[in-house]
Amino acid sequence: MTVWPLDSTFRPHPVPGKETLIARKRLGDLLIERGTLTPTQLETALARQRETGGRVGETLIEMGYLTEGELFAILASQLGLPQLDPSQTPSDPDALLLVPPAVARKYTALPIRFEGKRLVVALADPLDYEAIQDLGFCSGAPVQPVLASRRALLEAIDARYKAAESDPDREGALVEALVEESSSQFSDVRVELVPEISLTPEETKSLADRSRLAPIIRLANMILTKAVTLRASDIHIEPEKREVRVRYRVDGLLREDMRLPKWVQGALVSRLKVLAKLDIAERRLPQDGAVRVMVNQQELDLRVSVVSVQHGEKIVMRVLQSSAAQALGPFGMSPRDEAFMASLLTHHKGLILVTGPTGSGKTTTLFRMIQRLATIAVNIATVEDPVEYQLEGVNQMQVNAEIGLTFAACLRAVLRQDPDVILIGEIRDAETAQIAVRAAMTGHLVLSTLHTNDAPSTLSRLVDLGVPRYLVASQVVGVIAQRLVRRLCETCRRRDTATEEELLTLRVPHKVGRSMSVHRAVGCPACQQTGHSGRLGLHEILVMTTRLRELVMAGAPDHEVQHEALAAGMTTLFQAGLAMIREGATSVDELLRVVEVEGSYETLCATCQGVLHSDFLTCPSCGTPVANRCPQCGKTLREGWTYCPRCRRKEDHPAVVELSPLQSRRGRRAVNE
């Protein structure tokens, strides 16, 4: 450790907050000039110092030639630094959190407060350059040193950190061990302060060296290992004002797992950047990278994204299994939907689209389809951003917009590679949509994703993107809308009766609701007390028929397209969710979380519990007439109406099918209006 001894001739040396310090004489000479010390006393003290070691100033105090107050007054005047009494100056809690106690005790340093962007730290030796550098690294802020008595500092450090460590929210054993182990390593590695704008090559190398410290590696490994244990799809490392928060996305929902000390932030971010081969010197611009790691004998691909936020750099890592077969698995569809899917994959040309919001498993479904199509006789090419699953025998192309390699440019290049099947990661704009449709028109089977709420509205979305209606009608062979719901834990799920509010929301008639049972999430060790384990897919598969093509050509609205698709056998997301609720696979809350029930048109038959659409006059399963339909014009009738307001027919037939509570409530509102 490089320390300027108090009895040496001072050499101009940069200290944060000061350009340079004026040259000074040796401490002993200065004390003799001031009459505080005699030459004989100085010689005696130097002889004692050579025998016992240590600093001359400390030896003079021990021998009684000088008081601690006199020594620090002289040093403060000589160095041009303010002097501070720790016992009379409180520490800002925010500043105290930024420096671990082991580091504070090692350097006899006490964080006091912030002055602008600088952290004021009381030091017994303000010329300890390495201490200033390490304190700056821990806190993430430039250090402004002030002078204080060593004895007073030690007492203040013990008192204030003891109070902080007695906080019931203190970190766990790993973080405590991390603090202790990390502090013992600080003297072995030179770390430079990180400026506001950029880093020099030497400073960049120092920061990279810091990220390789054993405790930081252990912490990063622990975070990745826990992601595997929890089956997390994403890891969020988020800097906050006083600490760093780590969250995992498990089964589609974020879950907070730990809060780390603020001083860990810089080293942890640097470690993950080094793994992903990112520029650790760049702290302002977003960066994206990838890395393959082995965790518990399991190979994982990590897609790393780094952005600068208010309190530092935030990292989000998407966790992907390198083994595509293990990651993808079966479709998990009902036998009816499996048959529809198989019929779509028999086409040799055309466009198949998978729709749904971000995180609904669209890419996974596309690659399951590719797995079925991949044979030695089929040339499959993909255009992705980024490449998530790596499949053997599939030519996968990465989009790079920075060099002009957009989806459209990649697709044009792929068309010249004699493909049989083309997978486009996402149709994002009109140009990509038109090229995809025209690729399907020229004899290729094209698979892609689009963001729409349901399958029928996908057709009109393509028209909105500028694709002619005749191409949409002729080239689209099928659309799959998808959602993911959490599966109830089979170990702890509890059977229960549906509440009145649930029946109202699901549009279930009272007669059906009395016999309808649901399951609740409870929580047990097997599911980490969440009540859920894994996820299930809800699918809405629209297969194009002649009648649907005619409706698209005629510009029919989405609800008419949906009516015809239902007549052709399509099962809506709502119907798929109700089936899973009846099986006990998921809960009502999960269905309502992912499916917009208000936008659906279904209710249940009170006789057979079959699903009824809004324009049905009779139940297609049991033939029971639907009471809230006019038998002459088929329009919906509200509760309390005696005559049909559309065709003037008197409504006198018996009410065979009950109205759902939601329909009854809406009917009363319509009458009042």
| Reported confidence tier of residue 525, pLDDT bands at 50, 70, 90 | confident
The pLDDT confidence band at residue 20, using thresholds 50, 70 and 90, is: very low
Across 247-255, average pLDDT: 90
Q: Note the pLDDT of residue 659.
A: 42
Q: Is 371 exposed, middle or buried (CB count within 10 Å of its CB: 0-12, 13-18, 19+)? A: middle
Count of Cβ atoms closer than 10 Å to residue 303 Cβ: 18
**What tokens were used for 68?**
């601690």
pLDDT digit string (tens) for 122-157? Answer: 888 777 778 888 887 767 678 888 888 788 888 888
Least confident of 15-19, 433-437, 481-485, 571-575: 15-19
pLDDT digits (tens, 9 = 90+) for 401-430: 878 888 888 888 888 888 999 999 888 889
- Distance between CA atoms of 331 and 584, rounded to whole angstroms? 19
pLDDT one-digit tens code per residue, 297-340: 777 788 899 999 888 899 999 888 755 545 555 556 778 888 88
Q: What number of CA atoms fall less than 13 Å from residue 107's CA on the CB side? A: 33
Q: Which residue has the higher pLDDT, 20 or 463?
A: 463
162-208 per-position pLDDT tens digit: 655 444 344 444 455 554 544 444 333 332 323 333 334 554 454 45
Which band of pLDDT confidence, cut at 50, 70 and 90, is reported for residue 96?
Answer: confident
Residue 598 pLDDT class (50, 70, 90 cuts) = low
Tokens of 335: 């036998």
Residues 6 or more apart whose Cβ sits within 8 Å of residue 239: 262, 265, 309, 311, 312, 313, 314
* pLDDT for 99: 78
DSSP 163-228: HHHT-TT---HHHHHHHHHHHHHGGGS------SS---HHHHHHHHHHHTSHHHHHHHHHHHHHHH
| 3-class secondary structure, 515 | coil
Instruction: Tell whether the model's pLDDT for residue 262 goes beyond 90.
Output: no
Q: Which residue has the higher pLDDT, 429 or 633?
A: 429
Q: Is the pLDDT of residue 12 over 80?
A: no
Axis-axis angle for helices 201-211, 264-275 (nearest 10): 100
Percentage with pLDDT > 90 across the chain = 16
Question: 24: buried, middle or exposed (CB in 10 Å: 19+, 13-18, 0-12)?
Answer: middle
381-406 pLDDT, tens per residue? 998 887 777 788 889 888 888 788 88
Give the CA distances from residue 278 to residues 249, 257, 291, in Å, rounded to whole numbers and listed in that order: 23, 26, 10
Residue environment code for 591-607, b if the CB has 16+ CB neighbours within 10 A, otherwise e? bbebbeeeebbbbbbbb
Least confident of 47-61, 324-338, 364-378, 588-602: 324-338
Provide mean pLDDT across the span 362-369: 87
Q: Can you tell me the mean pLDDT for 39-60?
A: 73
Can you give the C-alpha Rg of the chain in angstroms? Answer: 35
Report how far residue 371's alpha carbon sits from residue 386's, in angstroms, rounded to the nearest whole number: 18
